Amino acid sequence: MFRNVLASLLEIYQGGRGLFQSKEKFNQHAPKMAVVLTPGEVPTTDLYLRRCLKESVGEAVNYLNTLRSPPNDVTFGNDALIIVVRHAPRNWLRSLKRQQDKLAGIVFLMDDDIPSALRAPELPFRYALKTAWRYALSRRLLSQVCSEVWLSTPELMHRYAASSPRLVEPEYVASNSSNEKPVVYFYHGSWAHRREMKWLVPVIRQVQQHAPNAWFEIMGTDRVRRLFLGIPRVRVVHPMPWKDYLAYAGTVRHQIGLAPCFDTDFNRARSHSKVFDTTRLGAAGIYSNVTPYAEKVAHGETGLLCENVPDKWVAAIMLLINDQDLRKSLYVKAREWCGNEGRKGHQS
């Protein structure tokens, strides 16, 4: 009941229920190019647009991220077709309104029932409210600038037939293939190590800029996911019980393990167990040059010791990403050392 009441209030605010009515095309010229306004890197763009636009306008397609780029300095060419994917900020829509007379058309592409999101009880309330609020903010402007509506399913076509929509169904998108085997480097620690996680963020950001074939894996919940938001090729694995983690470690083989550690009184009492974690996953390790690692890791033999300086960590990670032989050598010697440590502990 509450959601429906709130949805009704938003519909009053936005000037109507459901999808807006599209305008007539601004001119009859065929588009010479297309500009796609997308709210970040969303699957909608790949599934519905890349192939069909390539067939219609060739390579003359420009993709703009409206969440990162302001419209102030963007001037659209004559007879350009503009496609708004799902939603766009109002400053972008105002810019389109100022330039609409010279455009071939402005399309609104919708692949979910966005106007009805808040009335869908199966959607999480926060997600539904955010989706409905963005649409409420932009509906009037969309109705003023859009000459076409493209919808993704026959059901949406039926629901919003009054908007004279065009059906654009999804197309298969193959995964990008690479001749190079990706390098996975990781940090597996609990939220108790949040200082180290936060310290790693700029390090990982730099590495990912320089190593397009590298993936970074870290364990954590949404708090960790938010820390690394916006950095490409970061995989956040949910924490798991110790026995499950051991089983997981037996199913994957990564290349580089990170073990940053600050020189604090508490940390000086920690053990060097991260060396075992790194080796268990088949990886060469990079460790902070502090206790407990400085006394246990032979630099250049069983791992790399690194001062807690971000640029030095970036350099060490890049060294191992680019040197497969060194990675293998460090791992083999670390594995031998771990075996000897285990026997030593058993004998004591």
Buried b (16+ CB within 10 A) or exposed e, 7-20: beebbeebeeeebb
* Better-scored residue on pLDDT, 78 or 221: 221
Q: Are residues 157 and 187 in the same domain?
A: no
Q: Which domain holds residue 91?
A: 2-167
- Would you place residue 176 in the very low, low, confident or very high pLDDT band (cuts 50, 70, 90)? low
Confidence check: pLDDT of 326 > 90: yes
Confidence check: pLDDT of 245 > 70: yes
Q: Lowest mean pLDDT: which of 13-22, 134-143, 337-346? A: 337-346
Ranked by mean pLDDT, the top range of 21-25, 65-69, 99-103, 150-154 is 150-154
Q: What is the mean pLDDT of residues 166-174?
A: 86
- pLDDT for 24 equals 61
Enter the DSSP assignment of 15: T
- pLDDT for 234 equals 97
User: Do residues 183 and 216 make contact, with C-beta atoms less than 8 angstroms apart?
Assistant: no
Q: Are residues 264 and 307 in the same domain?
A: yes
Q: What is the mean pLDDT of residues 312-339?
A: 96
- Domain assignment present for residue 254? The answer is yes
User: Do residues 66 and 19 make contact, with C-beta atoms less than 8 angstroms apart?
Assistant: no
CB-based contacts of 305, cutoff 8 Å, min separation 6: 287, 288, 289, 293, 294, 297, 299
User: Do residues 220 and 191 make contact, with C-beta atoms less than 8 angstroms apart?
Assistant: yes
State the pTM of this model.
0.70
Domain CATH for 234: 3.40.50.2000
In sequence order, what are the beta bridge partners of 80?
33
Q: Are residues 79 and 191 in the same domain?
A: no
Give the whole-angstrom CA distance, residue 197 versus residue 205: 12
- Domain assignment present for residue 175? The answer is no
Q: Are residues 314 and 276 in the same domain?
A: yes
Average pLDDT, the chain: 90
Strand 105-110, strand 80-85: pairing: parallel
- Which helix (H) or strand (E) segment holds residue 257: the answer is strand 256-259
Boundary of a domain, candidates 134, 167, 200: 167
pLDDT tens-digit map of 225-244 = 999 999 999 999 999 999 99
- Domain assignment present for residue 342? The answer is yes
Q: Are residues 23 and 99 in the same domain?
A: yes
Rounded (5°) CA angle 110-161-108: 25
- pLDDT for 345 equals 45
Measuring CA to CA, how many Å separate 196 from each of 133, 218, 287, 302, 308? 37, 12, 12, 22, 10
Q: Are residues 114 and 225 in the same domain?
A: no
pLDDT tens-digit map of 273-319 = 999 999 999 999 999 999 999 999 999 999 999 999 999 999 999 99
Q: What is the mean pLDDT of residues 27-41?
A: 81
Boundary of a domain, candidates 106, 139, 167: 167
What is the percent of the chain where pLDDT is above 70?
A: 94
- pLDDT for 348 equals 39
Q: Are residues 188 and 54 in the same domain?
A: no
Q: Among candidates 50, 67, 68, 47, which has minimal Cα distance to 59?
A: 50
What would the two tokens of residue 316 be? 């060490």
Q: What is the mean pLDDT of residues 113-129?
A: 93
SS3 content of the chain, % helix, strand, coil (to 5): 45, 15, 40
Domain CATH for 41: 3.40.50
Q: Are residues 135 and 240 in the same domain?
A: no
- pLDDT for 344 equals 57
Q: What is the mean pLDDT of residues 21-28?
A: 61
Confidence check: pLDDT of 253 > 90: yes
- pLDDT for 180 equals 62
Give the whole-angstrom CA distance, residue 49 versus residue 36: 9
Q: Lowest mean pLDDT: which of 64-68, 147-151, 199-203? A: 64-68
Q: Are residues 7 and 121 in the same domain?
A: yes
- Would you place residue 74 in the very low, low, confident or very high pLDDT band (cuts 50, 70, 90)? confident
Give the number of domains in the chain.
Answer: 2
